[in-house]
Amino acid sequence: MTRRVAGEVLLIPIRGNVADLASLYVLNETAALIWERIDGRAGSDEIAQSLQEVYDVPGDDAREDVADLLRSLTAAGLVHDAGGPASSEPSQ
């Protein structure tokens, strides 16, 4: 669940293990945009492309940012591999 509070974009786990609820995940604007594109269908290249449509960044940088965030989200258990070509979806 994403909330915007006091200028922060927050990822708030609402289901799952109680341990998951012990942390908040605070996204910067770029990460928030990437998170909003993670729907289980869009691949990481597609998400990177949408990032480039908003921010003036080279393609390699955008892909790297997306990959970094996906790694962090996966490690936190907030997304999992959706099984498609390089696609992910929120875990809750």
Comparing CB distances to another protein, the nearer of 8 and 39 is 8
For the record, the structure tokens of 27 come out as 């996204």
Q: Tell me the one-letter amino acid at 2.
A: T
Nearer to another protein, 15 or 60 (CB): 15
Q: Specify whether the CB–CB gap between 73 and 36 falls below 8 A.
A: no
Residue 5 touches another protein, criterion: CB under 8 A: yes
Q: Which tokens sit at 45?
A: 């290249």
- Residue 36 contacts another protein per CB under 8 A: no
Residue 73 makes contact with another protein by CB under 8 A = yes
Measured CA to CA, the distance from residue 43 to residue 60 in angstroms comes to: 15
Q: Which residues bind another protein (CB under 8 A)?
A: 1-3, 5-8, 10-12, 14-18, 21-28, 31, 69, 72-73, 76
